[in-house]
Amino acid sequence: MVAILLIEDDPLVRRGLELALSRHGHDVRTAETGEAGLAEFRSAAPELVVLDLMLPGIDGFEVCRRIRGAGDVPVIMLTARGDDFDVVGGLAAGADDYVVKPAQPTVLDARIRAVLRRTHGGSDGVRAHGELKIDTAALTVSLRGETVSLTPTELRLLLTLSRGPGRVFSRQQLLEEVWEHDYLGDSRLVDNCVQRLRAKIEADLANPLYVQTVRGFGYRFGPV
């Protein structure tokens, strides 16, 4: 059972998703607007947020940014149009994943579980890469002794990449391993998550040390 906060303005869609997700065994709380959603987020402390993009008042992008600023709770975007603009905006705002409406509850449930599963994995131990320390048992990351706060997706991406320093992962491989998407997942998920991860651990974003781009192939960790 996962404590989910569903922020969706259309009452029928909200109720339908609430019914379906409850049926999948989740504890669903709902909110009608972005403001109400943020208030609910603070009071109920959900494990995951399912967020509609088109909301009256402050929209889904802004809600996502504020949730990101408040902590590491994963966010799955519900995008009504599925147009590129929405997807890009949602990912840039920090969403961990997105589902295009009309979303099948089974798919949504699978994504929810995948996002939450990202905190589990890798062999136990503390790995040090330069000034970066990754504790694969406690699932904490510290840079120069200071703890870095990562979302489950960012953490899982870092764990996957750092498993083999110097090894190149294609976006497709990362999609399959980190997001557990089928082979048609959106490679922009990877790019956006890499950017967010770099913003948290890299000193120089123009010359990243830990997560490096291999042009035309994908990404690799280090070697440091």
Partner 1 sequence: MRWWWPRGLRPRLLVAFVLVTVLGAAAAAWSSAGTASTALVDSAQRRLSDALVSQIGAVTPRLTYPPDQDALDRLRSAAGPNTVVTYRDLRAEAGVEPASDALRAAVRSQNGLVTERVTVGSTPWLVIGTPVLRTAPDGTRTPSGIEVYSAHDLTEVEQQIDGLATNAAATAAVALPLAILLALLAARSVLRPVRELRDTARRLTDGDLDARAPPQGADELAQLTVSINEMAESVQTSMTAMQRMQTDARRFAADVSHELRTPLSTLTAVMEVLETAAGGMEPDARESAQLAITETHRLVRLVEDLMEVSRFDAGTAQLRIDQVDVAAAVADCLRARGWTEQVELAPAKGIVLGLDRRRLDVILANLVGNALRHGAPPVRVRIFLSGTQVLVAVTDHGPGLPKEVLPHVFDRFYKADAARTRTPGSGLGLAIALENARLHGGTLTAENVDGGARFVLRLPREGQ
DSSP labels, 82-120: --HHHHHHHHHTT-SEEEESSPPHHHHHHHHHHHHHTTS
Determine if 171 is a binding residue for partner 1 (CB under 8 A).
Answer: yes
Which residue stretch of 6-14, 31-39, 59-67, 123-131 sits at the interface with partner 1 (rule: CB under 8 A)? 6-14
Q: Rounded to whole angstroms, how far apart are CA atoms 5 and 161?
A: 30
| Count of Cβ atoms closer than 10 Å to residue 29 Cβ | 18
Tell which residue, 100, 121, 112, has the closest CA to residue 25: 112
Q: Rounded to whole angstroms, how far apart are CA atoms 58 and 125?
A: 43
Query: Given candidates 33, 140, 142, 187, which one binds partner 1 under the rule CB under 8 A?
Result: 187
Determine if 121 is a binding residue for partner 1 (CB under 8 A).
Answer: no
Query: Given candidates 124, 146, 182, 204, which one binds partner 1 under the rule CB under 8 A?
Result: 182
Residues 32-71 that bind partner 1 (CB under 8 A): none
Which residue stretch of 89-97, 98-106, 130-138, 140-148 sits at the interface with partner 1 (rule: CB under 8 A)? 98-106
Determine if 13 is a binding residue for partner 1 (CB under 8 A).
Answer: yes
Using CB under 8 A, list all residues that contact partner 1: 10, 12-13, 15-17, 19-20, 23, 80-84, 101-106, 171-172, 182-184, 186-188, 216-217
